[in-house]
Structure 1
Amino acid sequence: GMNVVCVLPQQGEVRLDQVIPSGPFAEAYANELVPVSRWYKAELVGEDRVAGYDSVIIALTAKDPHRYNHRLWLEKTSGLLVKSHVGESGGKVLENFQFTSLEITDDLAESEFEIQTKGREVTHNLDDVPAPQPVQSSVMNGWDLGWRPPGFVPAAAPRTGPGRAVAFSDGVAAFSVFVELEGAVRMPVGASRIGATTVYMRELDAGNTRFLVTVVGEVPPTTARKVAESVRVDDALALHSDDS
């Protein structure tokens, strides 16, 4: 299905239930009806070998300045993503993903999934963990966005707090918006970037309450800033109730 589980034989089993993948993995949660071709120009640009497998290279060129370009290496037989680049319009690569060792097979022995640690396994019962529910509107529980880049639609709400954190996707890229009560320790505001991931933080006053707005995702800093500055708190009481 759409569950992502890491089996680390020396450490235990961890389900990535609060992680929203972005970049080429956005398909795990994005709305399947998003018309990606409206926002990116797709082009087959060549072939390559990655981790010993033949692959085709597809370039996704952004049609506006609100998103980055992507280049995907797909294994020829399975279509598995084996390498990707995220970059700016000038050609600078900001983030690189690549398999260095890979075996594609239908035959996986049960022993590969045995946990070897004793007494410190990290496990979750997948049947008891509800999946994040799709978000049907840009109006959240207590706040909304006045602007978002064309093509980005609400995709998922992490279980870190109902209505306070929502992810948006255009089918390829993604960003998340967090709105929370400001804590006792004031956080630095402004933008920072690690690779292709931008973090933009700003303070927002609503009545007598101060909130911290954070935008995180694989979008340019100017885009993250515009999204953050468009956040409006319509119902501070709703956000207070989520915090309790």
Structure 2
Amino acid sequence: MMKTKGWILAGSLFLAGHRLLAATPVANELLNPQDATQLVTRVANAARTVTFQGVYVHQHGDNMEAFRVIHEATSGNDIERRESLDGPPREFYRQGNQISLYLPGGQVYPIDRRQSSKLFPRQFPDDPEHVLVNYHVRYIGQERVAGQDTNIYDFEPKDKLRYPHRYWVHTDTGLMLKSVMLGVRHEPVEVFAFSQVQIGGTIDKRQLKPVYPVKPAPVDDAPGTLTLPKDPEWDIHNLPGGFRLLKVGQRPMVGKPRPVIHHLYGDGLVTLSVFIEPFDPAAPLGIAQQAGITVFARKAGPYLITVLGEVPAETVQAFSYAYTPKGEKPSAQ
């Protein structure tokens, strides 16, 4: 998951956002709702509409990798190529909605459109409210990243169910140049940052040509579900607030003989997964954490529930205990 992730309203609003950032707010000041909406919209748009190329670093716990990205914004379908610079060679190539991959061993696995569309620096959703219902936005100050001037913004959670985030936004275009997810002690637990970047200009078409023999990847374009389906085997109540149900389905898992039930939730910045499968006595139970990723597994009747996400421990536990097999009393946390 960490490897994958390391790759893991235009018009008037864009122009309004540009004017907003031209007039720098006061340091350490909370943005009002209108300005926060314009900021999120501007940053989300820039990742699609700005031509850029460079090298960025992804640090997650003790893992650190570098990637090259080339993104050409056109009037039609934009084109993007990414390749790993560390470890086994991997490559991601996208033209419009068509995605091709090169992975070690030459195998290609199905990918979810939501996952492929959240690759750095495209980490904001198209709907600003999805983020701003859960986070306050505070302007921190200015700083250079990879030789470019940026404005720094903190996204401060409105509750204890999620982690704070900090973003460095290019002052001229709104392109995100650095992002940091902070842990419970405000320590960096995940970092994306350009070490070198060129914004604008013309892309040499040869740089957009895949280096490795990429293969078309099956892409799941199924729309998200806004409500959980009625399940004859489960009662689901008291889910933590601020998370939307994005997808319900079955997902193949490494080491599992058959796909497991998968419920995917998101709060606009991070995602959280609930996996349901027959109980395995050999499965490890309880809490585990690694670099901002928290996993909680427990036995619920004849089932194993595993919840995983970039959220604090109390959040994955709350999601787990919201799922109760039919006929059983809700479990005490």
TM-score using structure 2 length: 0.57
8 Å Cα contact 2:111-2:220 kept in structure 1: no
Deviations 1:101-120 (A, max 9, x none): 22223522221132344xxx
Offset from partner CA, 1:40-68 (integer Å, 9 cap, x none): 22111101111111111011111211111
2:239 to 148, 152, 175: 148
Distance 2:224 2:303 in 1: 25
Q: Which residue of 1 aligns with 2:182?
A: 87
The correspondence of residues 106-185 of structure 1 with structure 2, limited to 5 A, is 106-117=201-212, 121-124=213-216, 129-139=219-229, 143=234, 145-157=236-248, 160=251, 164-183=261-280
User: Pick from 126, 132, 135: which aligns with 1:37?
Assistant: 132
Secondary structure at the aligned position of 1:226 is classed as helix
Aligned-pair CA distance for 1:35 = 4.8
Quickly say closer, same or farther: Cα 1:95–1:173, change in 2 above 3 A: same
Which range moved further: 15-24 or 144-153? 15-24
1:201 matched to 2:293: no
* AA of the residue aligned to 1:201: A
Decide whether the 8 Å contact of 1:11 with 1:122 is kept in 2.
no
Question: Which range moves more in the overlay, 60-69 or 164-173?
Answer: 164-173
Matched length:
223
How far residue 23 of structure 1 moved from its aligned partner, in angstroms, is 9.8
Point out which structure has higher relative CO (alpha carbons under 8 A, 6+ apart): 1
Percent identity for Structure 1 against Structure 2: 23
**Following TM superposition, by how much is the alpha carbon of 1:163 offset from its aligned partner in structure 2, in angstroms?**
8.8
Q: Is the 8 A contact 1:26 1:173 kept in 2?
A: no
Q: Structure 1 length as normaliser, TM-score?
A: 0.75
- Bigger mean CA deviation after superposition, 224-233 or 140-149: 140-149
CA contact (8 A) 1:23 1:172 kept: no
Contact 1:175–1:217 (8 Å) recurs in 2: yes
Is there any run of 5+ residues in structure 1 with no aligned partner, and where?
236-244
Q: Secondary structure at the match of 2:300?
A: strand
Residue 12 of structure 1, CA deviation: 5.0
Deviation at 1:6, TM superposition (A): 5.0
Pick from 163, 168, 173 the counterpart of residue 68 of structure 1. 163
Secondary structure in 2 aligned to 1:58? strand
SS in 2 for 1:156: strand
Paired residue secondary structure (1:222): helix
Over 3 Å counting, the alpha-carbon distance change for 1:27 and 1:190 in structure 2 is same
CA distance in 2, matches of 1:23, 1:143: 36
CA distance in structure 1 between the aligned counterparts of 2:180 and 2:205, rounded to whole angstroms: 34
The root-mean-square deviation of aligned C-alpha atoms, in Å, is: 3.5
Determine if contact 2:260/2:275 at 8 Å carries over to the other structure: no
Distance 1:58 1:175, change over 3 A: same
* Counterpart selection for 2:173 from 70, 78, 89: 78
Unaligned runs of 5+ in 2: 1-47, 49-76, 93-99, 102-109, 253-258, 328-333
Q: Which one-letter code corresponds to 1:224 in the other structure? A: V
TM-superposed CA distance for 1:25, in Å, is: 5.2
The aligned residue for residue 8 of structure 1 is: 83
* Alignment partners' CA distance in 2, 1:4 and 1:158: 30
SS at match of 2:225: coil
Please list the CA deviations of residues 107-138 of structure 1 after superposition, one character each: whole Å capped at 9, or x if unmatched: 22221132344xxx34116xx74413211213
